[in-house]
């Protein structure tokens, strides 16, 4: 009797079904290494091709930075008098035939000695517009007291006829930053006195007539300059400038009739040449 559907078949039928035939072991032994070889070859190909850029990454040029020259050493306080321009050189620059030590009355103090270089600040008596006293003259005491300067040299020169004057001063600080900071502060103080009338008459003599029209402040190449012209209308003009150069503040003023502004950078450059030469 043969079993119906769902029933096990008896002897001679197809139950149980024949076991599946296993592939020959020799084929597996050959196939597995072959696949591994293909995978390894593909990995080598990808590694050598990369992204398609055959240039070695390590050879790419890298940006380089070049350090600038070190700052010059600070100027010694011992050489300050030698930084001032000689009278004949200054005379040539301001277009004067001759500059000599400014002449005072016979009973004047020793500051009026010919061509003398002083190492003290200028003690200007109080003026009518005291807030602008720093504009009155180079190396003015109230403009430098408490600023940390170490030493100075200054000189007052004039033509024999008195139609041109030149005051020069060099004020030494510990380093270039201190000198620059001083000039920045002086610039702010001067700015408050520009574009207005300022009375430089002594406070105890308000009728002295030292009234000036102060012009605009300029700052070119680190040279801070203010001009002032006499309100009397005679054309008497003073140019006052300060400039930090290394650890030195150059503080100069030249006055005369219709003084040309171009003399200021020329004078500053000539003094700066002497500052730079002091390192050589």
**Nearest one of 200, 41, 228, 236 to 125, comparing CA atoms:** 200
What is the mean predicted confidence (pLDDT) over 191-210?
A: 92
Does the pLDDT at position 104 exceed 90? no
% of the chain residues with pLDDT over 90? 61
- Give the pLDDT band (50/70/90) at residue 279: confident
pLDDT for position 101: 85
DSSP one-letter string for 37-62: HHHHHHHHHHHHHTTS--S-GGGS--
What is the mean predicted confidence (pLDDT) over 50-54?
A: 50
Most confident stretch, 54-68, 95-109, 138-152: 138-152
pLDDT digits (tens, 9 = 90+) for 54-93: 555 555 556 666 677 788 899 999 999 999 999 999 999 9
pTM here? 0.74
Q: What is the dihedral of CA 260, 263, 265, 268, to 10 degrees?
A: -150
Distance CA 227, CA 253 (A): 10
Half-sphere exposure of 151 (CA within 13 A, CB side): 12
Please give the C-alpha separations between residue 246 and each of 76, 94, 114, 124, 145, in angstroms, as whole numbers.
11, 25, 30, 27, 20
Does the pLDDT at position 143 exceed 60? yes
- Give the pLDDT band (50/70/90) at residue 151: very high
């Amino acid at each position: 009797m043969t079993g119906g559907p769902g029933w096990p078949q008896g002897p001679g039928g197809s139950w149980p079904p024949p076991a599946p035939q296993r592939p020959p072991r020799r084929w597996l032994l050959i196939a597995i290494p072959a696949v591994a070889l293909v995978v390894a070859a593909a990995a080598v190909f990808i590694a050598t091709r990369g992204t398609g850029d055959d240039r070695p990454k390590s050879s790419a040029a890298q940006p380089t930075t070049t350090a600038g020259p070190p700052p010059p050493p600070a100027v010694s306080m011992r050489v300050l008098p030698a930084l001032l321009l000689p009278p004949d050189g200054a005379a040539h620059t301001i277009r004067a035939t001759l500059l000599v030590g400014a002449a005072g009355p016979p009973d004047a103090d020793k500051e009026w000695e010919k061509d003398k270089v002083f190492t003290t600040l200028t003690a200007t008596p109080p003026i009518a517009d005291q807030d602008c006293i720093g504009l009155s003259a180079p190396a003015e005491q109230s403009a430098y007291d408490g600023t940390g300067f170490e030493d100075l040299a200054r000189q007052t020169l004039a033509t024999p006829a008195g139609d041109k004057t030149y005051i020069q001063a060099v004020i030494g600080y510990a380093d270039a930053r201190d000198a620059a900071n001083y000039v920045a502060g002086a610039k702010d103080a001067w700015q408050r006195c520009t574009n207005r009338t300022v009375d430089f008459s002594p406070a105890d003599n308000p009728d002295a007539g030292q009234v000036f029209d102060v012009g605009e402040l300029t700052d070119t190449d680190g040279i801070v300059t203010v001009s002032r012209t006499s309100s009397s209308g005679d054309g008497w003009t003073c140019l006052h400038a300060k400039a930090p150069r290394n650890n030195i503040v150059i503080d100069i003023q030249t006055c005369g009739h219709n003084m040309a502004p171009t003399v200021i950078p020329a004078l500053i450059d000539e003094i700066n040449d002497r500052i730079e030469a002091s390192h050589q």
